[in-house]
Chains A and B, each alone.
Chain A
Amino acid sequence: MNILLCCSAGMSTSLLVTKMEAAAKEHGLECKIWAVSADTVKAQIDQADVLLLGPQVRYLLPQMKSLANEKNIPVETINPVHYGTLNGLEVLNTAINLIKNH
């Protein structure tokens, strides 16, 4: 399962990646999770099964949706509460559910 996270510089989200990786490891899940800047998404979306946006780039959702539709993968904004509290497990669950229900 490949989870791509996107925020403006890919910086704050990388801390969330660390928390998500810890949660995945704890539950014995094989995941590749990584964070990139909004500009890099296009170049890396091919390797992703799901795309999650940081709340600070929520305004990019329409254009990311069309990009994700082309690649036929789900895309969603990260729940602000989960993001603000660095809740890696909940964000991981969101990603898994998005892939399942796609």
Chain B
Amino acid sequence: MENLEETIFQIILHGGNGKSCSMEAIAAAKKGDFVQAKEKLEQSATALNEAHRIQTSLIQSEVKNKKIEMSLLMVHAQDHLMNAITVKDLAKEFVDLYEKLHA
């Protein structure tokens, strides 16, 4: 783990990207563009996977007794990631709902 601050920012970045994609998926579904909506949901999943991978690497180094400094920024990154995961799960439901309404 090179620079902890940058690593934390990567979690915020990918988590945040994931959330943005989810919200864009809902916006596309609202307009009736379900191809775009599903593409955005996939992009969201990819971004969140990346955020999660970084998160896992942090947890693993902690388990291996490599102490990681807890900062407010780190807590904030976790907050971003959890929120992004929730939004992604709900976005999928929204897209499904709009698709039903559209049918």
Interface presence of A15 (CB below 8 A): yes
User: Chain B contact residues: over half helix, strand or loop, or mixed?
Assistant: helix
Complex: A83 Cα to B8 Cα, angstroms: 12
Interface presence of A97 (CB below 8 A): no
Chain A proximity mask over B29-49: 1 for CB below 8 Å, otherwise 0: 000000000000000000000
How many A-B residue pairs have C-beta atoms within 8 angstroms? Tell me. Answer: 54
Q: By CB atoms of chain A within 10 A, which of B13, B76, B80 has the most?
A: B13
Tally B residues with Cβ within 8 Å of A: 21
A11-B76, A12-B76 given; A54·B16 CB < 8 A: yes
A11-B76, A56-B15, A59-B27 given; A83·B20 CB < 8 A: no
Tally A residues with Cβ within 8 Å of B: 18
The 4 closest A-B pairs by CB, nearest first: A56-B16, A59-B23, A84-B13, A58-B20
List the interface of chain B (C-beta within 8 A of A): 5-6, 9-10, 12-17, 19-21, 23-24, 27, 73, 76-77, 80, 84
